[in-house]
Amino acid sequence: MNKLFVLTFLCLGAKAQQIRHNPSDYFLKAYKAEEEMTLDAEDTEAVWQRATAIGDFWQKFPTSDKKTATKTTVKAAYDDKFLYFFIEAFDSTNNYIAPSLKRDQSLTEQDGVAVVLDPVNKKTNGFGFACTPNNVQSEYQYANTDSELSFAWDNKWFSETKRYGDRYIIEMAIPFKTLRFNAGNTTWGINFIRSDRKKNEFSTWTNVPVQFQGIDLGYFGTLQFEGELTQQKGNISLIPYVTTRTSANPEEGAPNSFKANAGLDAKIAVSPSLNLDLTVNPDFSQVEVDQQVTNLTRFSIFFPERRTFFLENSDIFSEFGAPPFRPFFSRRIGLDKNAQPIPIIFGARLSGNLTDKTRIGVMNMQTGAKDDFAAQNYTAASVHQRFGSRSVLKGYFLNRDATGTQPEGGMEDPLEKYGRNLGGELNLIDKSGSNQFWMGYHHSFKENLNSKNAFYQVGYGHFGEFYSGFIDYDYFGQNYHADMGFINRLETFSITGDTYDYPDTTIRAGFQQAYNENNFTFRPQDKSLVQLTLGQSSYLVWFADGSLSDRAHAYLADLKFRNTVGLNVEFRNSVENLRYYFPLPDKKPLAPGKYKYNNVTFLFTGDTRKNVILNGSLVLGQYYNAQIKQYNLSVLLRKQPFINATLSAQFNDLKFPEEYGRTKLWLIGPKIEATFSNKLFWTSFLQFNTQQNNFNINSRIQYRYSPMSDFFLVYSDNYFTDTLTNKNRAIIFKWNYWLTL
């Protein structure tokens, strides 16, 4: 029945979407500035007087079929070092949604304008630079396959703003050195995105269909430079750092310790579009801690990469497989399974555009030994070749080698000696981006493992304004290993017997899975309701012998309102065929067998424009053989743009049959952010997690004394939740400086 449902609506949605976008309809000329430019949010320079402004933006959300009434105009100019934009964002008020003065905040949460650029103009990758009326900057890098933006990519650029009663002005200066471009190419891809949170409206210069992001490379206009560009030379950035750390580990009975350290990062432009990143003895102590979750599944949880060294052009390495199956996942380098640091001695990473249509990435990292983890060398190489309008053929090779002796003799395991992976993928995407087909083959190499060591996938999706859906099939052999990746179902955490007196273990078993999703979106012309989505999804997993592992069917209704409030209801019908004892209940693990259960989730998201925002969800029904009640509540209190205080709490109440007991799990996470100015920030994050028996405190002060240059003062502390005795604590000071040569 489900297969018939999917095929019917894939055929329904397969009607080619009319392409409303013609790049020649969207043209912006950048004029050469002959005089020295002053960044002051005033258009007094001669080049601004002769520059032609573009405007007349299209509404992007909640619909994309009409021009927006919110006026925005943009002019462009350049000199030998910078690309300039002069943006006037007209409005009826001088009061804007501005949650924070902290850098790298998404425009989905605040007012502002973003410039998105494709310097190569081949729809392979791009850069985004956003600014708010309060002159809060954010920048990001992305590829044509990215579905989510990461604001962890950082680079130095400049902006000034001014606010008036009827508009705000942004003047940007983006260094050409930041943009990885070829001076011979004077025609770039470009678009502009404006967020007007008061109206819950987003607009773009070009007409981007509502189902795609405003950064979609297939819907860019043209930026034409008036003359030739100056080839950038000596594009080298050095970022030295010094850190000190005072720590105590009462749990281990170790004396207090003091350590000082230093290291260096470097960014070197090998060519106009190829960048070499170098690091010696890197330190990531200033990176914010992961937000913990309660894990009710038998599998590992995926946490995103936050360390800046790994982020520029990260998609070249990481965009293989499909979430949450990634052959390459950079968090496996320099962190153990508990996210504790392993020393990195040095690393090098070459990435970027080799030609207009070819992107490459080569990485090598050497780590030291720690406890029972031997020193390792990691190598990754990847190439992406674009063809047609948007399609991509790409391949990779990965290699992990143990380069030292395991401190506790663990090297006797032949699987720990090395791990290698080789794979390739084909992504076929039509010009509009509405129809996509993908397939891939991935192979792993381990000593004495010569069979069942492949992972392959195939899928198709249609992404239209009314109907969006896809179907994906994946096969994983039992002996497929990804030492540099994340594959969360091949290994299952379990107990070897029917009580907790038995040891725990990890079971490895091959599987195959199929997933389909179908969504129908209605956008009524209504003053309050702006979007209604009705959806259905199915998830099927089989063991290698063809017997059922998991099955889940979900049905949802999602409503979005003009005032940014959202309501979501999802009903889920599940079947789980446990082959092993599952250590979830308090008294004893769940016995193997087939479990059928249903539950329903209610989700509410509050008005994100307010100073008091309430979000919550409720899960009711069954989970395996338990009655589940899951409560999630988040309250955000803020004084815009200076203070954000969030109290979030989750309580899971699992009432199993009497012999298994009643499992109650708390996850409480208060967070306070204070942004005293565009340069001084304080963040404190507390997490009380009874499942992990850990209560952690992380408090961080950051002072940005110069562009991209910071002082950090970090305090971290960990306790057991059951006894509140201290595990460890540390005070860390870090200084870095971004020097551009």
CA-based R_g, the chain, Å: 26
State the pLDDT confidence band at 21, using cuts at 50, 70 and 90: low
Checking DSSP bridges between strand 158-163 and strand 137-143, what pairing results, if any?
Answer: unpaired
Give the integer Cα–Cα distance in Å for 190 and 206: 9
Checking DSSP bridges between strand 27-32 and strand 72-78, what pairing results, if any?
Answer: parallel
CB-CB contact of 229 with 176 (8 Å): yes
What pLDDT is attached to residue 31?
A: 96
User: What confidence tens digit (pLDDT) does each residue in 432-477 have?
Assistant: 889 999 999 999 999 989 999 999 999 999 999 899 999 999 999 9
User: What confidence tens digit (pLDDT) does each residue in 83-128 have?
Assistant: 999 999 999 888 888 888 888 888 888 999 999 999 888 777 788 9
Tokens of 663: 């499992």
Contact residues for 557 (Cβ-Cβ < 8 A; gap 6+)? 532, 533, 534, 535, 568, 569, 570
- Give the pLDDT mean for 698-712: 93
Does residue 43 register a pLDDT over 60?
A: yes
Q: Quote the pTM value.
A: 0.84
Tokens of 87: 């943006």
Task: Tell me which H or E stretch contains 217.
Answer: none
- Work out the mean pLDDT of the chain and round it to a whole number: 89
What pLDDT is attached to residue 451?
A: 92
Task: Pick the range with the lowest mean pLDDT from 10-14, 38-42, 132-136.
Answer: 10-14
Does residue 688 register a pLDDT over 90?
A: yes
Residue in 601, 457, 463 with CA at minimum distance from that of residue 147? 463
What pLDDT is attached to residue 14?
A: 40
Task: Pick the range with the lowest mean pLDDT from 177-186, 257-266, 396-405, 603-612.
Answer: 177-186
Does residue 142 register a pLDDT over 60?
A: yes
- Give the pLDDT mean for 331-337: 84
CB-CB contact of 472 with 516 (8 Å): yes
For the chain, give the percent of residues with pLDDT over 90.
62
Does residue 8 register a pLDDT over 70?
A: no
- Give the pLDDT mean for 521-535: 90
Q: Residue ranges of the domains in the chain? A: 21-225
Specify the 3-state DSSP secondary structure of 457: strand
- Looking at per-residue pLDDT, the higher value among 525 and 536 belongs to 536
Tokens 């069954």 correspond to 622
- Give the pLDDT mean for 137-165: 78
Name the fold adopted by 21-225: Immunoglobulin-like (2.60.40)
What pLDDT is attached to residue 174?
A: 94
CB-CB contact of 382 with 373 (8 Å): no
CB-CB contact of 654 with 585 (8 Å): yes
What pLDDT is attached to residue 23?
A: 63
State the pLDDT confidence band at 408, using cuts at 50, 70 and 90: low
User: What confidence tens digit (pLDDT) does each residue in 289-300 have?
Assistant: 788 889 999 888
Give the integer Cα–Cα distance in Å for 71 and 446: 60
Please give the single-letter amino acid code of residue 216. Answer: D
Does residue 49 register a pLDDT over 90?
A: yes
State the pLDDT confidence band at 18, using cuts at 50, 70 and 90: very low
B/e letters for 272-288, b = 16+ CB within 10 Å, e = fewer, are: bbbbbbbbebbbebbbe
User: What confidence tens digit (pLDDT) does each residue in 371-386 have?
Assistant: 778 899 999 999 999 9
Give the integer Cα–Cα distance in Å for 449 and 308: 35
Tokens of 445: 């190499």
Contact residues for 219 (Cβ-Cβ < 8 A; gap 6+)? 21, 191, 204, 206, 207, 208, 209, 212
User: What confidence tens digit (pLDDT) does each residue in 415-431 have?
Assistant: 888 999 999 999 999 98
User: What confidence tens digit (pLDDT) does each residue in 59-89 have?
Assistant: 998 888 889 988 999 999 999 999 999 999 9
